[in-house]
Amino acid sequence: MRFTLTYDGPLSPTGSPRHKMDIRRQLHRQLAELWTHEPLKNMRNAAEPDGAHFENVGGYGFTSVVHDVFKLRAELDVLLLREAAAAGGVLSNADIDNQLKTLFDALSCPRQSQQVPEGWQPGDTERPLHCLLQDDRYITRVNVESERWLDAPDRQHVRLFIRVRVTNAYPTYGSAVLGT
């Protein structure tokens, strides 16, 4: 299964729980839509409170596409558009490694209650909140390309295109249903 997620906003190298949740919330809408299409459409109950892809963290519900239940993994191709990008200079910004760590954390379900921002409440359409990954350890390959964003609103603002390829660690019935 292949699809592309987009993110447009700040990407802090010191991502706080609130910042990561803001990124999750922007990606949630896209991932919730993904669950309405084949092959996930047939597995919607897996994302419900008693389903295999549901996580309860700090009293809040989260669900993920890439989950260990079906031994799924993710390969990511990230196009990072930012004001500071130099031609051919992925490493020209010393914070890119920390920005990517913030992104990977935000692509994942929170694992502990302290990763859910204090006072955060999901919106009516965010129950559960859809994430890409159960855990970022299920990322098996990453390719990052950085380019200059000519009309970026400011230095902290980025535009991301995240091409996702869901694969299986080894064949299971569930991964066969997903066509991986």
Q: Closest Cα partner for 169 from 132, 137, 143, 131?
A: 137
DSSP-derived 3-state class of residue 138: helix
172 φ, ψ (degrees, to nearest 5):
-135, 170
Cα distances (Å, whole numbers) of residue 51 to 35, 141, 148: 14, 27, 42
| pLDDT at 79 (0 to 100) | 97
Taking the alpha carbons at both ends of the chain, their separation in whole angstroms is 6
pLDDT in tens, 83-131: 865 555 544 555 789 999 999 999 999 999 999 999 999 999 999 999 9
Any idea of the CA torsion for 137, 30, 81, 106, to the nearest 10 degrees?
Answer: -30
CA distance 155 to 11: 10
Show me where the domains of the chain are located.
2-178
CA distance 11 to 120: 19
pLDDT in tens, 47-95: 677 777 788 898 899 999 999 888 899 999 999 999 865 555 544 555 7
Q: Closest Cα partner for 70 from 164, 171, 141, 139?
A: 171
pLDDT band, very low/low/confident/very high, at 166 (cuts 50, 70, 90) = very high
| pLDDT at 50 (0 to 100) | 72
